[in-house]
Structure formats: structure tokens, C-alpha cells
Structure 1
Amino acid sequence: MTETRLQGTLGPGAIVFMVVAAAAPLTVVAGSVPIGMALGNGAGYPAMYAVAAVILMLFAVGFVAMARHVPDAGAFYSYVEKGLGRGPGLGAAFLALITYTAVQGAVYGYLGFALDELLVTYGVPSLPWWLWTLAAIAVTGLLGYRHIDLSGRVLGVLLVAEIAIVLLLDLAVVGRGGSDTEGLSTGVLHLDTITSGAPGIGLMFAIAGFIGFEATAVFRDEARDPDRTIPRATYAALVVIGVFYSVSAWAVVSGWGESAAVAQANANPGTMVAVTTEQYLGSAAGHVVQVLLVSSLFACVLSFHNVLSRYLFALGGAAVLPAALGRSHSRHHSPHLSSLVQTGCAAALLAVCAGAGLDPVAEVFAWLSGAATAGILLLMLLTSVAVLVWFHRSRADTRFWHTRLAPGLGLAGLAVCLFITVRNLPLLVGGSQTLALVIDGVLVLSVVGGIALARVRPGVSTARLRTTP
């Protein structure tokens, strides 16, 4: 019999590996931290990760409380449909596909560039970035075709390695007492430092570092005990990501001294963390950071590939997309057809970018990551509204903190973050107001398109159709 359900024995730790890998911790520390300091609030930027974690933790309270009432593995759009109806649910589904495709495409572009740069240092002839990207897409597709436990083990190894090198840097900076001139930074303890510069832009970059944490719910079918595993994994992922980013960003600032760190972030953001590592751990460690940056990017695209494949799988099972996408492999119990389609879409997107002659970092990575940040915030905003509406109507849970106060505070925080992101989106896409408007339009039209589809095809729903394997 054709299988239409996924299977697995993932515990909280394995799922946390998946979502933390999607956050690409080394990539964030090496890439986003210097940029967040330069364009945001300087030495106060590490505090923005703590602020972002608090906002997302408030959001997660309602998200987790509703999880036991949403048995589908569709994550955000399943929540939106249950709370706001079929049309908004389909709109959220299409928005999710665009958002995660954008963030995966952004990282694929950066990965091709970083891999070429790394190999050139070891004597390999330089090749076009898109050749390395296509090779990475092929390997990712192969792993995504197989059982989820294989991807989990690969992500676990890569994640431990990249976190280990950053933690060693953190310990080295603390062990030496920070920079020789200023010592350990205290800027994160002073409100005037935190609010200096442009804290709103700093918060925008900090929020972007958490993209993917909500994907815990996507692995519901493959979790060992979904009602307990998913909540634990969600909270654990937020705590791990929030603490890791905050401490590591503070260590980078402390390694240079507050004034010197801001100057370095403005002058050489791309090499700041690698240079810091060489200063505190030696030149060999600097080379290790370069290697692990590539593995961090690969772990990120593999994680998002798994998430996207499961979105396609759920939509296939719901007859929103072709039903074949909702079938799982008889031996691997994986969404194999959805994985193949997702691999093809990724290759097509990057082929278009390469054919247009776009720079893999300044354009592919920057533009697509900007679109993804706005998209994920809009998705979470819709989900927050759905959570509040559903608990108000159903009375399935009457705990005030879990169903009213925390989700309401999370909604307010996300609304502020979305406003800041949309207002500053031109900054993320090379200063082009026109491109920013196009991205905004695509995101909004994806939601409108879902609502229109629900009207044209009244029988279509994002609620998963389940059959026993």
C-alpha cells in the first residue's frame, strides 16, 4: 500500500539539532554579528539576541500550547487554518514555501562562494560559484531522499563542530579577560549603549538569526512522542540559540574592546570573526573556522531542504499540490518525491540567479535573505493571531498566560519587528526601493493567492489527509 505518513524516532535532542543547524550558528556569528554591530547599535548589539529570544519565547508559549490540538505536520499554515480558516491557511502555506525557498536559495549562493574561496586557499583552481552550489544541491538532495535519521546524524556532527570552535573562542576571550585595552565588555549592561545607533536595525538582524526554530512542528510525524517532544524541542532550541548568540556576540566585542570592535565591524565585517579566532586561538584555528563556515552553510541548507520537503509532502497529502508529493518512500519512510521536486526547484532558482550574473553574496544572499526575514515575520504574525482567535473561540485551554497574555505580548513584539524590517528592507536588498516593493508584493500576493484558491476550490484545505500505512 502507498504510504502517506512519515516515520521516525526523533527525540528532542535530534530535532533541536535540525532547527539549530537551520539557524547556522557559525554563519550568524561570523556574518551577521559584525553587520549587526556596524549597521545597528554597535557594542550593544549582543543584547538584541536576548530581546529577540524573549519575543520569540512569548510567541512560542501559544505556539506550543496549541500544538497538541494541531496533529498535522504542517507547522505554521496548519495553525493559521485552524484559527483563521481555510483561505488564510492556504495563504500561509504559499507564504511559507516562498519564505523557506528564499532563505535556502540565499544560503546556497553563499555556500558556493565560500566553498570556492576555501578550496582556492588549498590550491584548487577557482571555478564559478554556481558549480559548487549545484554540487551541494545534489548532495543535499541525496540526503533528503533517505530516512530522516541519516540527515539528523549528519547535522548533529556538523553542528557540534561549528559550535565547538565558537565556544573555544568564547572561552579564550573570557580566559584572557578580553582586550588588553578595555577588558571584557560591559556595554550590554548599560541602556544607553543598547539604545545607541540604530537598535531597531540591530533587532532586525538578530531576529533573522532565529529563522527555522519553529520548524520543530514540521517533524511531528517523525518525533518519538510528539505531544512532549515538540514543546521540549521548541523551548530548548530557543534557549540554545538565544544564549549562544548573545554570549558569542559579546565575546567578539570583548575580544576587540568596544570602540575597536565597532571600527573593525565597519571596516572588515567579513573577516572579523576569523581574525579574532586567529588572535586568540592561533592561525590553525582561523583555517578551521573557514572550513566550518562551509559546513555550517551546508548544514543550514540540508535542514531547510528537509523542512521544505515536508511542507510539500503535507500539501500533497491535502490535495493542494499533486497527490504524489504526499507519498512517502516504502523503505526510507521519507518524502522522497517531495525531496526530488524541492531539489529541482532549488537548482532552477540558482540557475536563474547565475544566468542573470548576480553576485552570490552581495545580491543572491542579501536579496533572498531580506525577503526571507520579512516573510518569516509575517508568517509568525499570522500564526500569533490564529492562536489567539482559536483559543478564544474553542475554550480548549483557559490558562490566561498560555492562551492570552504571552501570545498577545508575542504578537505585539512581532508586529514591531515586522514594521522595522519592512521599513528597512531596502537596506537588505542593496538600497533598491523598487526591489523592496517587489519583494513585499510577492509576499502579500502569496497570501492573497491562497485565499483566492480557497474560494475557487472550496474543497481544498491544508488540513492533512491521513491514511494508515
Structure 2
Amino acid sequence: MTTASTRSESRRLTGHLGPVGIVFMVVAAAAPLTVIGGNMPLGMGIGNGAGAPVGFAIAALVLLVFSIGFVTMTPYVPEAGAFFSYVTVGLGERMGKGIAVVALIAYTAIQIGIYGYIGWAISDTVAHYNGPVIPWPVYSFAVLAIVAVLGYRHIELSAKVLGVALALEIGIVVILDAVMVANPGPAGITFTSFDPATFTQGALGIAILFALTGFIGFEATAVFRDEARDPERTIPRATYAAVLLIGAFYAITSWAFVVAIGPDEVGAVAQQTLDGEGNMLLDTTGDMLGGLGRDIMNVLLLTSLFACVLSFHNVIARYQFVLAGKGLLPARLADVHGRHHSPSFSSVVQTVTAAVIIGVLALLGIDPLVGVFGSMAGVATVGMVTLMLTTSVAVLVFFLRERASGRVATTLVAPALAVAGLAGSLWLVLSNFTLVTGGSVTLSTILAAIPFVGLIVGFLAWRPSRSLSGVEHHQRNRQ
């Protein structure tokens, strides 16, 4: 069979993705429109109200500092795998395997959460327009089937689909931002949000917390290393571009909402959204762009969720592919499709895994929003901050140990600042975890522990790889 999966000797993927293509993949994973509709009201309603834009700006600054050390180390990590590869080089294979388990848990959790969210969102939209009432799992499985087809094929097809979806959702928000600023609320065009007296009131930490969850996925640029046109140039450019684009999008849009609604009223409006008495994004869109604009925004919310779940499917499939190539997962997961040059078998396994988990949650009657999305987003948030913190430690240790050439600012100062910033962020997430999950203290504690249990299991289950990795070959050649 000519299209059967083949095992290449190098087990490497191929492609010609440039910075723009990779940025589409990772920004789509961050689901910017979904964050504006969900995280922004949370940051304003139970955070610091009109000061929420500063929360997004601070989160972007922390992640930008993280990115400096991350991309500075890129030339020393000549293989895909993102956090796993970086931590392995900096802290050794044992810790690398532990962090690989955390990555799989975090990405799988957010993907399952989005499947629950999009199933509910499609069902709610159909019902809103007087369509048939169909259970949310039906829509989730329909989306999963489409994702399975796209994920099985070459990555550039997914990049094109994500590019269209992302352009549309960003486009309508830019239009909405412009109209809101052109038609300000009772306070007029105001920059009160950036006044320390404003953004320090309330809970700035909560605003930063929900801002951080809105960036999940940006760091996946390195996962597409093997499919990049020029990895040592493409990956750094894509990483910086992703952080700056996502951060600017969130901060400017949340500020535009403050202008449109008014700094004194925006917190109360956001709280009404959390209480189920309105929808801050859709209601404001209706006021500014009319009924048609509201309908378009509703549809694009769905495409945003789809883009997000497709991007995470691709990320997880490639993580499994890399781990299998290093002998840490079954070798079959490292198969490369003969025609599509994709991690086809890994993609199929990821599809089956997601289908099984969604099926179990559906049979248990778990609520798709609070039970599925809320809980899984909480697990993913703890996992992702832990991953970035550990990676920053690995970068710092690597440059201290190797005394690699480079500026101190990028090899030592930036990673050290990132460690401090991410440690503080992890404390914010854990100390306010019930707000992320929406569950009880007991349930939240269990969910928060899952990534750390995965880290311990991976660490203890370590055994030497069967052969040298590309990283180790590279290190030996440098010596």
C-alpha cells in the first residue's frame, strides 16, 4: 500500500513552515477570541475591574522574558520536543522524561476541555436559533472527526485552515475594537486602566492568573522545529511574534472594552457575565455592530475553539512522536506517513485517546463547561506554568554549566528573571486554584496535584535511552 506509514531511519518530520505559519499554529492554540469571551470577564469581574488590561500586559512581559532564554538555547537543542528537549539538555534525561509526562497531561487536558466547550457552544448556538436540541457529545465527536482528518495529513494543510480561522477572528475583534474606541462610553476615551491607582485596586493577581491561562500554547513553536524552513531563525522569530501578538491583542482589546463600557461600570458588567445574566462579548458586539455582527462573532467563537483544538492535536501528536523516537514511548508512534510526511500513527492514537476520554465523561454525565472545561483548564494551567518554570531553570543551569558563548543578559539574567516571575505565577495559580476550576477545595486540590504526580511518575520511571538522541550527538560533536 503506497500510502502506508513508513519508518524513516532518522524518524524526522519535514516541512517548509515559516514564522507566519508557525505563529498561526500557536496563536490559534491560544484561542484569542475565546480568551476575550471567557478570561477577560473573569479577570475584570473577580480581578481588578478596569485594571485588567495591565494583567494581560504583565503576563505578556513574564512570558517574553521566558522566551528570551528559551530561544537563546534553541541552537543547542537540535530536535523538536519543546520543553522535554530543553529540560533534557539542561537537567538530564530523568527530569526530561518527568517533564514530558507533564506536557502530555497539560496539552491533553486543555484539548479535552476545549472539546467539552465547543460541544456545548455548538449545541447552545443551534438551540438559540431554534434548531434541534442535540447532546453536546455529538457535536464534540463531530469536531473530533474533522480534526482527525486534518491532523493525519501534512502539517501545512492544518496551517492553512488555522490561518483562515485566525485571520477571521482577529479581523472581527480589530473592527470591534475600532468601533468601541470611536464610540466610547460615559467616561470617553480613557487610559484609567493604566493608572496604578486603578490596576492595583481589587485583585491584580487574579487578573494576571487568568491572563496567563490565555497564553497556553504560545510556547509550542519549538514542537514544529523539524517542519520549519530554517529552525534557528524561524523558531525564535515565531516565538517572539506569538508572545507580542497575543499580548498586544489581549491588552488592547480589554482596554477597548473598558473604554466602551466605562471604567466604573465594566467590573459590574463582567460580573453579570459570570453570573449568567449576560454575555459581555456578544452583548457589547450587538450594541456596537448590530445583530448581524453579534451573529458573526458567535460563529467565529466556534471557529476559534475549533482552531484551538486542532492546534493542540498537532502539538500532542508531535510530542508523542518525539518521545517515541527516543524510546520513551512505543516505537510505532514514531512512524512517518509515506505521502503526507506527518506523524500519522501518533495522530490516530491521539484521536482515539481523546475519543475515549470524551466518551467516558459523556457517559458520566459531566457538565461540559464547569466539569469538563473548567476542570481540564485548571489542570492545564498548573501543568503549563510548571513546564515553563522548569524549562527556565534548565536554561539557566545549561548556560551556567556550559559557559556557552552569548550575552549574559540573554543567557543568565533573562532566565533568572523568568524563574522568579514564573515561580510567582505558579504561586498565584495554586493559591487561587478554586477560581480557575470552579470546583470545591478537595476537587481543586486533586486536580492541581495531577501534573506534579505525572512529573514524579516520569522521573521515577526513567531508564537510559536505547540510543543517543540528536541532542547528545550535537553536544558530543561540540566537545
Q: Same fold (TM over 0.5)?
A: yes
TM-fit CA distance, 1:254: 1.2
3-state SS of 1:264 partner: helix
TM-fit CA distance, 1:440: 2.8
Q: Classify 1:275/1:43 alpha carbon distance in 2 versus 1 (closer, same or farther; 3 Å).
A: same
Alpha-carbon distance in 2 for matches of 1:28, 1:229: 26
Are the aligned partners of 1:77 and 1:462 in contact in 2 as well (CA < 8 Å)? no
Alpha-carbon distance in 1 for matches of 2:103, 2:240: 21
User: What is the aligned length?
Assistant: 463
**Which stretch of structure 1 is more off in the superposition, 443-452 or 106-115?**
443-452
Task: Give the match for residue 157 of structure 2.
Answer: 150
Task: Give the match for residue 268 of structure 2.
Answer: 263
- Equivalent of 2:465 in 443, 449, 459: 459
TM-fit CA distance, 1:187: 2.2
Q: Classify 1:460/1:58 alpha carbon distance in 2 versus 1 (closer, same or farther; 3 Å).
A: farther
Task: Give the match for residue 396 of structure 1.
Answer: 404
**Which stretch of structure 1 is more off in the superposition, 252-261 or 219-228?**
252-261
Alpha-carbon distance in 2 for matches of 1:443, 1:245: 27
TM-fit CA distance, 1:267: 1.0
Q: Classify 1:266/1:35 alpha carbon distance in 2 versus 1 (closer, same or farther; 3 Å).
A: same
Alpha-carbon distance in 1 for matches of 2:413, 2:193: 28
Per-residue displacement from partner, 1:122-173 (whole Å, max 9, x unpaired)?
3420100011001111110110000001000000000000001110000001
Alpha-carbon distance in 2 for matches of 1:262, 1:279: 18
Per-residue displacement from partner, 1:287-315 (whole Å, max 9, x unpaired)?
00110000000000000000000000001
Q: Classify 1:445/1:145 alpha carbon distance in 2 versus 1 (closer, same or farther; 3 Å).
A: same
Alignment of 1:313-332 (within 5 A): 313-332=321-340
Alpha-carbon distance in 2 for matches of 1:440, 1:119: 34
Q: Classify 1:199/1:243 alpha carbon distance in 2 versus 1 (closer, same or farther; 3 Å).
A: same
Alpha-carbon distance in 2 for matches of 1:361, 1:397: 49
**Which stretch of structure 1 is more off in the superposition, 26-35 or 114-123?**
114-123
Task: Give the match for residue 301 of structure 1.
Answer: 309
- Equivalent of 1:173 in 156, 180, 184: 180
Alignment of 1:406-421 (within 5 A): 406-421=414-429
- Equivalent of 1:369 in 372, 377, 382: 377
- Equivalent of 2:299 in 291, 303, 323: 291
TM-fit CA distance, 1:429: 2.0
TM-fit CA distance, 1:185: 3.3
Identity %: 49
**Which stretch of structure 1 is more off in the superposition, 59-68 or 344-353?**
344-353
Alpha-carbon distance in 2 for matches of 1:464, 1:98: 24
Alpha-carbon distance in 1 for matches of 2:148, 2:388: 28
TM-fit CA distance, 1:281: 1.1
- Equivalent of 2:206 in 197, 201, 214: 201
- Equivalent of 1:240 in 238, 245, 253: 245
Task: Give the match for residue 97 of structure 1.
Answer: 104
Letter of the structure 2 residue corresponding to residue 95 of structure 1: V
Are the aligned partners of 2:327 and 2:465 in contact in 1 as well (CA < 8 Å)? no
Q: TM-score, normalised by structure 1?
A: 0.96
Matched, 1:222 2:207: no
Per-residue displacement from partner, 1:336-357 (whole Å, max 9, x unpaired)?
0000000111111111211221
TM-fit CA distance, 1:121: 3.0
Alignment of 1:243-254 (within 5 A): 243-254=248-259
3-state SS of 2:336 partner: coil
Are the aligned partners of 1:320 and 1:461 in contact in 2 as well (CA < 8 Å)? no
Alignment of 1:264-283 (within 5 A): 264-269=269-274, 271-283=279-291
Are the aligned partners of 2:7 and 2:334 in contact in 1 as well (CA < 8 Å)? no
TM-fit CA distance, 1:466: 11
Letter of the structure 2 residue corresponding to residue 458 of structure 1: P
Are the aligned partners of 1:187 and 1:193 in contact in 2 as well (CA < 8 Å)? yes
**Which stretch of structure 1 is more off in the superposition, 23-32 or 263-272?**
263-272
Alpha-carbon distance in 1 for matches of 2:449, 2:442: 11
Task: Give the match for residue 163 of structure 1.
Answer: 170
3-state SS of 2:81 partner: coil
Letter of the structure 2 residue corresponding to residue 182 of structure 1: A
Q: Classify 1:391/1:280 alpha carbon distance in 2 versus 1 (closer, same or farther; 3 Å).
A: same
TM-fit CA distance, 1:462: 9.6
Task: Give the match for residue 429 of structure 1.
Answer: 437
Alpha-carbon distance in 2 for matches of 1:466, 1:441: 32
Alpha-carbon distance in 2 for matches of 1:426, 1:436: 6
Alpha-carbon distance in 1 for matches of 2:108, 2:470: 21
Are the aligned partners of 1:90 and 1:461 in contact in 2 as well (CA < 8 Å)? no
Letter of the structure 2 residue corresponding to residue 207 of structure 1: L
**Which stretch of structure 1 is more off in the superposition, 391-400 or 315-324?**
391-400
Letter of the structure 1 residue corresponding to residue 351 of structure 2: T
Task: Give the match for residue 3 of structure 2.
Answer: none
TM-fit CA distance, 1:432: 1.2
Are the aligned partners of 2:43 and 2:206 in contact in 1 as well (CA < 8 Å)? yes
* Gapped regions of structure 1 (runs ≥ 5): none
Are the aligned partners of 1:5 and 1:466 in contact in 2 as well (CA < 8 Å)? no
Alpha-carbon distance in 2 for matches of 1:465, 1:249: 42
Per-residue displacement from partner, 1:352-391 (whole Å, max 9, x unpaired)?
2112211111221111101111110000010000000001
Letter of the structure 1 residue corresponding to residue 416 of structure 2: G
Q: TM-score, normalised by structure 2?
A: 0.94
Are the aligned partners of 1:32 and 1:205 in contact in 2 as well (CA < 8 Å)? yes
Task: Give the match for residue 141 of structure 1.
Answer: 148
Alpha-carbon distance in 2 for matches of 1:104, 1:462: 32
Task: Give the match for residue 217 of structure 2.
Answer: 212
Matched, 1:69 2:76: yes
Per-residue displacement from partner, 1:94-135 (whole Å, max 9, x unpaired)?
000000001111111100001111222334201000110011
Per-residue displacement from partner, 1:247-284 (whole Å, max 9, x unpaired)?
00111111111122111111124611111111111110
Letter of the structure 1 residue corresponding to residue 453 of structure 2: L
Are the aligned partners of 1:144 and 1:339 in contact in 2 as well (CA < 8 Å)? yes
Alpha-carbon distance in 2 for matches of 1:162, 1:448: 39
Q: Classify 1:170/1:461 alpha carbon distance in 2 versus 1 (closer, same or farther; 3 Å).
A: farther
3-state SS of 1:109 partner: helix
Q: Classify 1:330/1:89 alpha carbon distance in 2 versus 1 (closer, same or farther; 3 Å).
A: same
Alpha-carbon distance in 2 for matches of 1:227, 1:428: 36
Alpha-carbon distance in 2 for matches of 1:461, 1:380: 27
3-state SS of 1:162 partner: helix
Alpha-carbon distance in 1 for matches of 2:461, 2:469: 15
